[in-house]
Amino acid sequence: MNNIKFPALMLFCIAIICTPHTIFAKALPDSTKGTISTTGTASNNYPPDTAEVILAVETRAKTVSQATQENNTISEKVVNTLKELIDKAKGDMVKTSSYSIHPKYEYDKTRKRNIFIEYLVTNQITVKTGKIHAIGKLIDSATEQGSNRVHNINFTINDDNNYCEQLLDRAAKRGKVEAEVVARSLGTAITGIKSVLSSCSDADQPPVYPRGFAQEALVSKSVPSIEPGSIKLVGSVNLVFFIDNSN
């Protein structure tokens, strides 16, 4: 019998051809699996527990020293009064949020140039308090001490963790149900979760702009009733599920 010798390269090729194909099979990466994306949302209205009021003391004078001295005197009285009305032990606070000095000019048509009129000094004071139902009294007291501007009032929820947990739970369940419905309609089923992204925040709440509050308080010795209303929180969960692609 003749001995047939095969070159080493030929033997290697035969081995490759004869080996079962399953030896080369490997699991598809997650990136190639089918997915379904859904977004579950849930919302509800909750009572605010914190109010932030921005007041201001404006003074005008021909000289900077006169305008600043007058402003400092009034501002000190306003701040001291506000501190008596809040509860520092519960996180309430009063602070100067901005301070500015601006020269005021008017254009003289005869001289055809700007003429200096006075200096305007503005001390803006921010008050943050949990006594949201006493905001009217707070503004009234500040006005009596010389505050002549109320810029805006913001109501917020200082601790919304429990509310957000409830909303996110509802939103996640809703997103999963929607994914299951879509998967069934396509003749498949979800097999796992690829990614989850959640968020919880208040819907845009426009601040209250109480124009004329300070002037009205000076005349009537009181301010209009301020209702905090409610704040809408929205929980959102973006979900990406893997689906069974075997069908």
pLDDT digits 0-9 by tens, 219-244? 455 555 788 889 999 999 999 999 98
Query: Is residue 226 in some structural domain?
Result: yes
pLDDT for residue 19:
38
Last residue of a domain, one of 155, 175, 195: 155
Q: Are residues 167 and 149 in the same domain?
A: no
Give the chain's domain count: 2
Residue 139 and residue 78: Cα distance in Å, rounded?
10
Residues 80 and 164 in one domain: no
Are 244 and 163 found together in one domain? yes
Question: What's the CATH code of the domain at 171?
Answer: 3.30.110
- Structure-model confidence comparison of residues 30 and 14, the more confident one: 30
Domain that holds residue 215: 29-47+157-247
153, pLDDT greater than 50: yes
Which residues, at least 6 apart from 102, have a Cβ–Cβ distance to it below 8 Å? 119, 120, 122
- Residue 10: inside a domain, yes or no? no
Residue of 57 and 10 predicted with greater confidence: 57
Note the pLDDT tens digit of each residue in 161-210: 999 999 999 999 999 999 999 999 999 999 999 999 999 998 766 555 55
Candidate from 26-40, 137-151, 176-190, 193-207 with smallest mean pLDDT: 26-40
Is residue 23 a part of any domain in this protein? no
Boundary residue ending a domain (129, 155, 181)? 155
What is the pLDDT of the chain when averaged over all its residues? 84
CA-to-CA dists, residue 117 to 63, 72, 103, angstroms: 10, 21, 8
Residue-level pLDDT at 20:
40
| Percent of the residues in the chain that have a pLDDT greater than 70, as a whole number | 78
Distances (CA, A) of 139 to 82, 135, 212: 9, 6, 12
Task: Give the pair of three-digit tokens for residue 161.
Answer: 């963790």
130 and 64 share one domain: yes
Report if residue 16 sits inside a domain: no
Given 93, 120, 155, the domain boundary residue is: 155
pLDDT of residue 177: 96
Of 98-102, 119-123, 217-221, the least confident: 217-221
Nearest to 190 by CA among 244, 233, 131, 122: 244
Same domain for 81 and 106, yes or no, is yes
CB 59: neighbour CB atoms within 10 A?
22
Is the residue at 18 inside a domain? no
- Measure the CA–CA gap between 62 and 205, rounded to whole angstroms: 40
More confident residue, 33 or 133: 133
CATH number at residue 85: 3.30.70.2970
- Residue 207's pLDDT is 59
